[in-house]
Chain A
Amino acid sequence: MSNHTDQLRSGRTSLLIAIRAGVTFIVLCGLLYPLLCTGLAGLLMPNQAGGSLLKNGNGDVVGSELIGQKFTDPAYFHGRVSSIGYKADASGSNNYAPSNPDLLARTRASIDEWKQNNPEVPIEQLPIALISNSGSGLDPHITPESAYVQVPRISSLTNLTEEQLHSLVKAHTEDRDLGLFGEPRVNVLKLNMALQEMISRS
């Protein structure tokens, strides 16, 4: 019998500790931790903590270097397919399975569009990354090859030579991190900002 009351008492003690632990850890992990981190980050690294924003010559914010933008003007470099149209208040893709007929239809449409807008570049050179949907729908990058294949189109629509554009892409190609991790890539927004500047200067 005494064993039974002992168990009951220890159960009640455990419940009280559990309740106090619940409140304590909500305050500690749920409030103090994120606020401490926000404070430290804002103090030490305000630019990174604020979303790595990019400004144009006039000092206006034109976007974040991490978030891709939608480019439809054929005189700009274009980014990857985004089912959400680079709307950055949400994120994601339409998750087409490899066997989904809609995936095939969308890819065929992209290829047809490519043929129309880039008659100089055969589709054998069209990199798969450029006509596939990124996971986030906000991918800020394209592969260097995806940028080079757009050079003939952009050159024919602007007053810039293919050589000028090639060196522009080259200058904006980022290597793998530490020369090792990930893939070489080109930030489309930064590339187009530089392109715009080049056009206005020439």
Chain B
Amino acid sequence: MGIFGSLIKKEAIHIVRDKRTMFITLLMPLFLLILFGFAISTEVKNIKIVTIVDKHTDMSRDIEQKLAVNEYFTYLGQAAPGDVERLLRTGEIDAALFIRTDGDKLDTQIIVDASNTTSAKTSTGYIQGVLSGSSQSQPPILTQTLYNPQMKSAYNFVPGIMGMIFILICAIMTSVSIVREKENGTMDLLLVSPTKPGTIILGKLIPYFILSCIILAIMLLIAYTVLELPLSASVFNVIILSLIYITLSLSIGLLVSTIVNTQLNALIVSAVMFMVPIIMFSGMIFPIDNMPRILQCITTIIPARWYISAMRKLMIQQLPFGYIIRETVILGSMTIVLLGLAITKFKNSR
């Protein structure tokens, strides 16, 4: 076995013998995907609603019935106008619908608890949907939801979680493992040997690259089976782009390791400088289009933003490769710049 082979074998032993880290590394993607895929959902369900009706007509009864059968609402019946404020305050209801009969027309008013803006907006939308459906004066609006017809939030989260996991595993684990060797002095033993610095770096990076590929395989498997993402020819593109992104994350880890000198600092720098921006500015949770212009500019330097955007196009919209050329070029250039920078810094550290 050559030098390169023994370095990789040694690193593999480090990874496998460190059972706790290994366990977390393999389970975390699973855990996050399942958690975001099923438990955490931005859909609003079980909106508790009452109606306040001044006069019973067929039209008002029609609305009440629709609320009662709709799975998004928990219809609690009618309430007296004076009770509404108390019910909202105690949280017994989320919304109230006032219906006033005016000749053969209905006047309606929605009162909604907006302490949580997301659910308030969504429930108002739902109620309006119910009302427009029952109003005879105007035809119902036809809406067709493309790409994610059931509006599953799992679809939305899968690309985000992938963008986060790879930075987490590649950047944090690589930087910590290199800095650990610096701390223990074993890096000096390697550097003082005839082994070329490039070989040492590759010997460190390749095992983590392989580990990341295994994790990628696990995540894709879950995404396409348990979470039922539509499977199509773009899976190939998903893998290619993910490999670029993994390389990028490894470069970040290497760069961090050349800057810091303790494992703790490596962890803090990787976590604070990379994790937080990814969660905030990658578009994973907060839509980038809604951000102020200055923040939108900041998001352009965050690799995860481009990866997540491309992943959405590939995995959810099922677009062909032509539509993600921009993202691919940006991620590719970032990788080359960061890797170049990291290797130069590593070589110049003496």
The answer to whether A binds B is: no
Interface positions of A (Cβ within 8 A of B) = none
